[in-house]
Chains A and B, each alone.
Chain A
Amino acid sequence: MNLILKISLRNLFRQKRRNVLLGIAIAFGVMILVIANSFANGITDVLLNKLVARIAGHVSIAFSEKSNFNSPIFRDKEKIFSVIKNNNEGVREVEENVGVFGRAIGNGKADTIIIVGIDLSKELSAETRKEIEESFRMIEGTFQDLSRKDVENPTIVSEEKAKYLKVKKGDIIRVRYTNLFGNDQAARLTIVGILKNDNVFMQGVIFAELGNLKKLMGFRPYEIGNISITMNDAPKNAVKLANKIHSQLKPDIAVIYGQLKYNGKIINVSTLGFKTDDESKKVLEKKIKVINGEIDKVSSKKNVLINKTLFDALGIKPGESFEIVYKNKFEDKETIVKYNLTAVFADDEMTDKNIVFLSEDKFYETYYDNLPEDPKKIKDAFYPKANSSLTDILATEWILLKRTSTTDELTKKYKDMGKGKWKATIVDVQTMYESASDVLKLEKALNLITISAVLVLFFIILIGVVNTLRMTIRERTREIGTIRAIGMQKNDVRNTFILETFFLTLFASFIGIASAFVVMRLLSTVTFNVTDNPMSILLVNSHLYFFPTFLGISSNVLFILIIAVVTAYFPARRAANLSPATALRHYE
C-alpha cells in the first residue's frame, strides 16, 4: 500500500503544470462552497442566535391573561422561578421579557417605538455580554445609566430614532402606551444614552430598566412577564428542558380559602370556579343539582351557588348577599368580595366542606388581582378527589397549552386557541426550534441552493478531472504495460490513479479552505452602511457575517472527495483493465 501511495504522490508531481491548473480549479470550487456555506450558517446564526434567541430565548414561557396577548403577566413570580430553578441544567441565562409598543413624541416629531426592559441587576455571562455589545454599540452613555435615580425614567434610544425624533442625550421624550390592563398611559422618559444598531427592526427599540418599565406597565413586584431562557448547546438541550418545565407546570385546581360573613356568622369556606366552555357546561348541568333558588341554568356565568352544607350552616336565602374575606399570598393584605346568592346545590362529592361555587368569570375577577394563599397549605380547604369528574369542570390556576414540535403544530395550536375566549391565564412553553423553525428551513434552503450552484461548478471541474486523467492514462499507457508486466496487479494500477486524483482533490481542498478563510476575512472588513435596509439584519456591526463550522467544512470536503474518487474510478478501471501486451504496444 505504501508503494502505491508513493507512486500516486510521485505521479502527482510529474505533471506539475497540468495538476496545478486542475488543483486551482478544484480549490476555487471548494473556496466558493465553504464561503457560501459559512454565509448561510452566518445568516442562520444571526437570525436564530443573535435575533430570535436574544428576543425570545431558546426556550420561552409565555403568558396571556384573559386571552389578551397585551397582558403577558403571571401573578406568581416565585412559583415560575422555582420550576426553572429545579431544571437549570444547561441553562445560561433566564431573562424576563417585558416590552410594550407605544408612541413617542420628541421635539416636534412622533414615531412608533417598542420599550424593552433590561435587567441590570443580573450578572451576564461573557458570551451574552459580548453578543449585546456587538449588537448594541453605545455612542453616548452606558447601559448602567438606565439605573440612574437623578432623572425621570432613564432610557436609551437608537441613533436613528434619536435623529428622527430630533432628540439628544438629556432630552425628554413623552410616550403613550397601553399598560397591562388596557389603560391608556403616558410617561416621560429621559434619554441617558444613544446606541447604534445595524438591525433595522431593532432601531425602533428603546431600552428602560426592567423594574422601572414593569412599574410603568402596572406589574407588582411579585408578578412576572414572559420568560426567555438561553442555553448552552441549545439544539441538544432546549427541547428537553422545555418538556421538563412543561411537565412541572401542570396547574392545580384554583381555590380561594377564606371566611364567609353573613348575618353575624363567620364560616370558613372554599370558593371554587366552574368553567363555562360548552363541554364543561354539559358536565356541570348533569352533575350539579339545584335544590333551592330559581335559576334557568346552573352554568350561567351570573350564578353564585353554595353547597347544602354551607346553606344549612348559614340559613341564607337566595337573593341575599354575603361577603368573603380571604388572605392574599402577597402584600400581607386581605381581600373582601361581595356576592349575591343565586342558588343552593347538592353534590355527593362536595358535602364535607363549605363551598361557594362561582362561574369562572366571577372567580378570576378577584383570583388574579388578589392571589389567595396557597390552599394546599390549608388542611381545611376543599380539593376534589383524584379522578373526580369535578376536576374537568373546575377552574384551574392557569391553563397550560400542550407542547408542540413544529411551527405548523404551533400555528394550529394558536389558531385553535383563538377560537375560544379564555378566562384563566394561558401558559405556553415553547422552544425556538418550533417557533422559528422557518429560520432553520431557510438555512436548509440556502445550503441547498449553494450546493446546487457548486455542483454545477464541480461538474465543469470534474470534466477537467476526467479529461486530465484520460490524458494521463494515455500518456502512461506503456508505463502501465511495464508495471503490469513486472507484476503489479490490476487493482493496484486502478488504485494508483484513484489515489492520485484523491490527493490532488485533498490538497486542492486544503488550499481552497485556506483561500476561503482569507476571502471571508477580507469580506468581513468591508463596511456596509445599510441601516435603513431590512437586509441589514444579516449584518453584524455593519459587516458581512460568516460562520464556518468544522462539521460543515469537513462534510463539504468529504462530499467533493467522494465525487472526485467516483469520477476517477471509471477511467482508472479502464487503465487497469488494459492487457500488459496491448499497453506495451501502445505508441503515439
Chain B
Amino acid sequence: MLKRFSFLILILLSTRSFAEGIDVNLILKKVENNLEITSDIKANVILTQQKIEQGVKVLEMIYYRRDSDDSFLIVMSNPEAEKGNGYLRMGDNLWMYRRNTRTFQHINRDESIGGSDAKADDFEKRKLTETYEFAKDEKGKEIISEDKLGQIPVYKLEIKAKVNDVDYPKKIYWIRRDNFLPLKEESYSLSNTLMQTAYYLKYTIVDNRYVPVNQMFIDEFEKGNKTVVEISNISTKKIDNSIFTKAYLENLSK
C-alpha cells in the first residue's frame, strides 16, 4: 500500500508540479508568450558570421514581418553585392529576389539567406509548442531540472520535435526561473550530436514582450564558426500592405 502510494506521489510530482509549483507544460507556453509579438514588426538586423577559412562576413538587412497572413520581407542593405536583394514570403510562397536580374525565384524554407548560415525559416513565426514538446526519460518523466547558468537560477529542460520539418529534433534550453526567458539553447541532431549552441545575450521589451536583440550562435560541429545576430530599431507599427509585394522589392532597385 505504501509502495503504491509512493508511486502515486511520484507520478503526480512528475506530471503536475515541479519547483515552485510550476506545471512543466506551462514553461514552454510561458517562454512562447514572452517572446510572441502579435503586432507587425519592422527591424534592422545585422548578421556577423565568422568562419574559420572564410573570415568575417557582415550582412545587414531590413526585416518586416506580419504574422496575421504569414508574411515577411527581408531587404538586404549591406554588403554592396547583396544590396537590393530580398526574400519575400506570402502565405505558402517564398521568393528570392535578385536585383541584378530583377527576377523572383521560388525557394524553400531551408534556403540560406544571403549565403549565410541563416535560413529563411529562421525568420518566420513558428510556435515552439507547435513544433516541440517536452522530452521524457525512460520513466516517462519530463527531462527538466533546476540549475544555474553562471549566477542565474535557471530551468534546464529538454524538448523534442513533434514534427519532421524542424532543423533540430532535440534541444536543451536554459530558461531563467524568474522571467522565463531563454538564456542558452543547445541543438542536437537526430544522432544526438551537439550541432549548435545559442546564447541569448540581451533582451529588450517591445509592447510588453521580450525581444532577444543580441544572440550568438556557435557552430559546435565545425569549431571556430559563429554567427552574431543584432536587432535594432524595432517598430511594431502596422506595416502597409504594399510592403509585402513583389512590386515593392522591384521598386527598391529602380
Physical interaction between A and B: yes
Task: Report which of B93, B105, B195, B222 forms a contact with A105, defined as CB distance below 8 A.
Answer: B222
Chain A residues with Cβ under 8 A from B221's Cβ? 103, 105, 174, 176, 186
Chain B residues with Cβ under 8 A from A421's Cβ? 92-93, 106
* Smallest CB separation, B86 vs chain A (Å): 17
In the bound complex, CA of A420 to CA of B105 (Å)? 10
Stretch in contact with the other chain, from A177-185, A387-395, A428-436: A177-185
Given A110-B222, A186-B221, is A418 in contact with B165 using a C-beta cutoff of 8 Å? no
Within 8 A of A (CB), among B162-177: 164-169
Q: Number of B residues contacting the other chain (C-beta, 8 Å)?
A: 25
In the bound complex, CA of A68 to CA of B193 (Å)? 25
* Smallest CB separation, A424 vs chain B (Å): 13
Q: Number of A residues contacting the other chain (C-beta, 8 Å)?
A: 25
In the bound complex, CA of A67 to CA of B105 (Å)? 13
In the bound complex, CA of A271 to CA of B156 (Å)? 42
Confirm or deny: B187 has a beta carbon within 8 angstroms of a beta carbon on chain A: yes
Chain A residues with Cβ under 8 A from B108's Cβ? 67-70
Given A67-B106, A174-B221, A421-B106, is A186 in contact with B193 using a C-beta cutoff of 8 Å? yes
In the bound complex, CA of A418 to CA of B106 (Å)? 6
Q: Please state if B110 and A185 are interface contacts (CB–CB under 8 Å).
A: no
Confirm or deny: A369 has a beta carbon within 8 angstroms of a beta carbon on chain B: yes
Q: Please state if B189 and A186 are interface contacts (CB–CB under 8 Å).
A: yes
Confirm or deny: B109 has a beta carbon within 8 angstroms of a beta carbon on chain A: yes
Task: Report which of B53, B106, B165 forms a contact with A182, defined as CB distance below 8 A.
Answer: B165
Chain A residues with Cβ under 8 A from B196's Cβ? 184
Q: Please state if A184 and B168 are interface contacts (CB–CB under 8 Å).
A: yes
Q: Please state if B105 and A418 are interface contacts (CB–CB under 8 Å).
A: yes
Q: Please state if A183 and B190 are interface contacts (CB–CB under 8 Å).
A: yes
Q: Please state if B167 and A186 are interface contacts (CB–CB under 8 Å).
A: no
Confirm or deny: B242 has a beta carbon within 8 angstroms of a beta carbon on chain A: no
* Residue in chain B with minimal CB distance to A187: B191
Confirm or deny: A419 has a beta carbon within 8 angstroms of a beta carbon on chain B: yes
Q: Please state if A186 and B166 are interface contacts (CB–CB under 8 Å).
A: no
Task: Report which of A103, A110, A183, A187 forms a contact with B167, defined as CB distance below 8 A.
Answer: A183
Task: Report which of B105, B110, B169, B191 forms a contact with A178, defined as CB distance below 8 A.
Answer: B110
* Smallest CB separation, A177 vs chain B (Å): 10
* Smallest CB separation, B124 vs chain A (Å): 13
Q: Please state if B190 and A179 are interface contacts (CB–CB under 8 Å).
A: yes
In the bound complex, CA of A218 to CA of B169 (Å)? 13
In the bound complex, CA of A110 to CA of B108 (Å)? 26
Chain A residues with Cβ under 8 A from B161's Cβ? 183
- Could you mark each residue 74-113 of chain B with 1 if its beta carbon is under 8 Å from any beta carbon of chain A, else 0? 0000000000000000001100000000000110111000
* Smallest CB separation, A64 vs chain B (Å): 10
Task: Report which of B109, B164, B189 forms a contact with A184, defined as CB distance below 8 A.
Answer: B189
In the bound complex, CA of A400 to CA of B193 (Å)? 38
Q: Other than A176-B222, A185-B189, give 8 A-B pairs with Cβ distance below 8 A.
A: A70-B110, A182-B109, A183-B164, A183-B167, A183-B169, A183-B189, A186-B195, A421-B106
Closest 3 CB pairs of A and B: A186-B193, A181-B164, A186-B189
Q: Which residues of A pack against B, CB within 8 Å? A: 67-70, 103, 105, 110, 174, 176, 178-179, 181-187, 218, 361, 369, 418-421
